[in-house]
Amino acid sequence: MQSYQVVLLLSILLAAICQPIKAADEPTESKITESSIRAHLKSLEEADISDAKAQKALLGSYIRFADENNLPGLEASVAAELASIEFSQGHLSVAEKLIGEFLPLARESNEANALISFYYLKSKIADRRSQPDQALTLGEQMLDLAIAANTDSKIADAYILLGQLLTRVNRYKEALSYLQKALIIVEGLDDQLGVSIVNSSIASIYGALNEQQKAIEYYQRALLYLQASGERFNESIVLFNIGLAYLILEENENAKDYLKQAMEISKELDDDLGVAYAKMRLAKIESQQGNYVLAITYLQDALPIFKKADDLRMVYVSQIALVRNFAEDGQHQKAQQMLSPLKDAAKKLNSIDFEILYFLALSESKSAAGDFEAAYQAGRNYAELLQQQHEQEKEKSLTEMRVKFDTLQKEKENRLLTQENQLKQLKLSEQQTRARVNYLIMTLFALVAIVVAILLLKQVQLRKMYKRMAMRDELTGAYNRRAIMAFARRRMLEARAEGGSFTLAVLDLDLFKQINDNYGHDVGDEVLKVFAQAAQSAIRAQDRLGRIGGEEWLYVLPDTEPQYIEVIFQRVNQQLGKVHIIGLPRDHKITFSMGVASASPKRQKLKDIIKLADNRLYRAKEKGRNQYVA
């Protein structure tokens, strides 16, 4: 018997002494068979773990049963579920030990689901340990295994994982592509939990792009299902993320409310990591409001949990936050003691973000202690690292923004050089005068940094605003007429150059005028919004939807097979059938008609293709509506 199995046996004996309550679907010892164990494993995949200690003991007994009966595939599957529970509790080292011991067994027995689960956990552990490249590589290997096994639910899990990992390294376009693929699969499986997870992941992308209100909208969609279905663990995560979004928006009371809700659920579930994350963010709010003692208490509660979970990123961030709060509270000795080892720790984490946090905390603590010269030097290092970070991100900005940014950076460098010369001269002066001048230099430095930040923020806000105004329909958020026509022209030219197919579809809501006349334009506007969402959800990533008139829409469908038209039509109808619009009778069915046309040797102009699609739309209307003509 191997060393880990000895530990498991001891856990089983301990659990038996404590007499845990057994779930209804757990097989009794006398009934244990391979099929009953696999059925129980399936039930664990679809539910929150309410009593992790009892479940771990039970899984340990399953591993012993599989080992004694020479069932290596079953043994690997049970070990994968046990590793998943250990990971969810933050026991990364224990999860790694299980993976190392049972992954070879999964390979030898060709147990596909266990292999997929092990690679999923390896990727999540690498991500938790700030190893993004390794996490992505493992995630891609998981996807390959899921595709080879031809298991839709596992493929969707892999797409979601890759979407989340790519979001963390700012590759938002690729992340969104994976999440859209996942959404198609989970909707096809009618997996509402999967839909909520995808919505939550998309919300994370909007949050990373600083569109917090849009992020909150997607989080709320996910929350509705989770609260209705009793998925408490996932509910706590979404509540935490909504609180985080409100924190960024500086709506502190809303942030506190959601974070405390998340923390209470985490306490109910014995989810120590969830509690620690919530306390970490609550500490930030209390610190902003000047409640440094309470902030320190929250952080001191969270830090040992992060250490136990071996979460190096959060350990570092918690320590930096403690330093800053000790300094603000006048506990300068404690701040310096904690700060000393953090410089080397930042380098080990291999991210410029952590070094920036270090020098910012060093500057603030030195300034609070009255050591303005050291504070100034730390501030310079902080500014230089910020400059490096901006340089790394410059290719993501427009040329005009880059030019303005470079100009501001040069001005800032000139000011810093001037301040440095002043500092050297002031060193010859009396100590009191030098302290006042150093304080003035730090003030000027802070003002320059604020001006740079404000200008950059304004540029980003203006760019986003103008882009939305130029490309989007104000009511529905879909492409407007100008944008969809420009897109159609580009795709038509590409299809002609590459020899590909090019298809358009004109859509029109049936009897829309009657809805406006009978129920009002507010209800009509809601119908348009719902239709836009349904129509957008039915097409592929390379397709586009645009609003070209009041209730008239245009699909641009490059490289589209004829049979896909009917799939699109049916998907839109299915989505419309699921939605009830307030103000409309429940039995009022929203329908639409569609005309489809493709480019051909005789039809090379966009206006001719649209005209033909429009004519076919009217034929669909004449034939009784709620159909398409292609």
Ordered DSSP codes for 557-576:
EET--HHHHHHHHHHHHHHH
> Strand order in 592-598's β-sheet?
544-547, 552-558, 502-509, 592-598, 628-629
3-state secondary structure of 505: strand
Q: Given a cut of 50, is residue 407 above it in pLDDT?
A: no
Using only the alpha carbons of the chain, give its radius of gyration: 29
Residues 451 and 496 in one domain: no
DSSP tag of 20: P
Residue-wise pLDDT for 312-326, tens only, equals 888 888 888 998 898
Lowest mean pLDDT among 94-108, 133-147, 377-391, 581-595: 377-391
Q: Is residue 55 part of a domain?
A: no
Residues 278 and 321 in one domain: yes
Residue-wise pLDDT for 571-587, tens only, equals 999 999 888 899 899 88
Q: Is residue 454 part of a domain?
A: yes
Q: Is residue 534 part of a domain?
A: yes
Q: Is residue 77 part of a domain?
A: no
Residue type, 548: I
Cα–Cα dist 72/457, whole Å: 57
pLDDT at position 10: 34
CATH code: domain of residue 295? 1.25.40.10
DSSP tag of 504: E
Residues 458 and 503 in one domain: no
Which carries the bigger pLDDT value, residue 595 or residue 362? 595
Asked whether the CA dihedral 480, 218, 135, 100 is positive or negative, the reply is negative
Residues 485 and 460 in one domain: no
Alpha helices in 169-191 (DSSP H): 172-188
Residues 487 and 589 in one domain: yes
Q: Is residue 118 part of a domain?
A: no
Q: Is residue 112 part of a domain?
A: no
Residue numbers of the domain that contains 337: 271-369
Residues 464 and 496 in one domain: no
DSSP tag of 550: S
Q: Given a cut of 90, is residue 508 above it in pLDDT?
A: yes
Residue-wise pLDDT for 10-34, tens only, equals 343 333 433 443 443 555 555 678 8
Query: Strands 552-558, 502-509: parallel, antiparallel or unpaired by DSSP?
Result: antiparallel
Residues 339 and 359 in one domain: yes
pLDDT at position 230: 80
Residue-wise pLDDT for 43-57, tens only, equals 766 555 556 778 888
CB 583 within 8 A of CB 527: no
Q: How many domains does the chain have?
A: 3
Cα–Cα dist 269/252, whole Å: 26
DSSP string, 603-624: B-SHHHHHHHHHHHHHHHHHTT
pLDDT at position 22: 43
Q: Which residue has the tokens 């399953």?
A: 62
Q: Which of 318, 335, 369 is the last residue of a domain?
A: 369
Q: Distances in Å between the alpha carbon of 260 and those of 50, 75, 240, 369?
A: 20, 40, 8, 34
Q: Is residue 383 part of a domain?
A: no
Bridge partners for 598 per DSSP: 503
